[in-house]
Structure 1
Amino acid sequence: MKDGQQPDTALIKDCLIESNLWQSASGLEAAIETALDAAQCYVVECEDIRFLPECEVSLVFMDDASIRKLNDEHRGKDQATNVLSFPIDEDADCYGPMLGDIVFAFETIEREAHELGLAFTAHLTHLCIHGFLHLLGYDHIDPIEADKMEQVEVAILARLNFANPYEGTIPLNMLD
């Protein structure tokens, strides 16, 4: 695949808004569409990841209370988080037709964007890419894998003219 060339198949994005808080997020669909398309193009072009035709990702937009329950049930962490990913098969040779679910928490994303001095959609774009990479098996528990995932996120964000979100930050304890 040549630089900038689109994958053979467009990613289907199935969005479910479970919290009315997301009604205030202007440009939500455009941000998600742009982030996922850029991420898919990058991993096809640069990471040699393949997708089946009509590949789909489910995006769920909820509040902190709902994601806190999911985080507790699936990860044993009784706290809200910004994004959770639930891959169907993170070790596939070719991904699809269903990649999995990416779940976002409005209040946490809004608070973090404010604390980081970012526009809400900029932070959401980053988290969308982050969640998508988790569906493909990228992780940040092991330091070597964390470094690789961060490099891919930064490269995708750069293609969208977003600054490196990790630059100048102190590394977080990724085991949390």
Structure 2
Amino acid sequence: MTTSINTLDIQIACSDESGLPSAENMQLWVDTALSIYSKDAELTIRIVDSDESQQLNHQYRDKNKPTNVLSFPFEAPDGVELSLLGDLVICADVVKAEASEQNKPLTAHWAHMIIHGCLHLLGYDHIREVDAEEMEALEVKLLASLNINNPYITD
């Protein structure tokens, strides 16, 4: 069995770095998410403030508010083979607020957002109910492998 190599570029572009996960944790979560992918992969995680998240969410999704994670899959031109999966843009402010509102450990919510974003880069989505159920089940399984509780169970 060959082991895939996942190369992670981390960009910290937020003013408040408190509560951010370590590079080691981010790499672990990426590796966990991409354990279902059999190729080498490169991706960037950019951690941003609300302003940048809102601008990108408005520009690319026509939603004028910040969001937790945006996924930008890389689409190689025909005939070009690259291991680049794409970029994740994660809003630190939103992740922190959601974890607090949902009474979840901040680290667990970060893990969920990174795994969720990676699955989007692999082509999973949650637009249709059947796709959402498949994606959520996979997230729950991957998070459980890290001893993180099901994020979809609410008290």
TM-score by length of 1: 0.80
Residues paired across the two proteins, number: 151
SS in 2 for 1:50: coil
SS in 2 for 1:80: coil
1:149 is the counterpart of 2:144: no
**Runs of 4+ more than 3 Å apart:** none
Separation in structure 1 between the aligned mates of residue 117 and residue 21 of structure 2, nearest angstrom: 19
1:36 is the counterpart of 2:26: no
* Structure 1 residues 26 and 17: alpha-carbon distance in aligned structure 2, compared to 1, 3 A threshold: closer
1:84 is the counterpart of 2:70: yes
Residues 69-148 of structure 1 mapped to structure 2, 5 A cutoff: 69-89=55-75, 96-148=82-134
Q: In the TM superposition, what is the alpha-carbon distance from 1:25 to its structure 2 partner?
A: 2.4
Name the structure 1 match of 2:13. 18
2:3 is aligned, of 8, 23, 28, to 8
User: Are the counterparts in 2 of residues 18 and 62 from structure 1 also a CA contact under 8 Å?
Assistant: yes
**C-alpha offsets along residues 74-129 of structure 1, whole Å, 9 cap, x if unaligned?**
00000110000000149xxxx95100000010111110010111221110100000
* Structure 1 residues 152 and 96: alpha-carbon distance in aligned structure 2, compared to 1, 3 A threshold: farther
Separation in structure 1 between the aligned mates of residue 120 and residue 20 of structure 2, nearest angstrom: 25
* Structure 1 residues 168 and 114: alpha-carbon distance in aligned structure 2, compared to 1, 3 A threshold: closer
Gap regions ≥5 residues in structure 1: 2-6, 44-48, 170-176
* Structure 1 residues 64 and 26: alpha-carbon distance in aligned structure 2, compared to 1, 3 A threshold: closer
Q: In the TM superposition, what is the alpha-carbon distance from 1:26 to its structure 2 partner?
A: 5.0
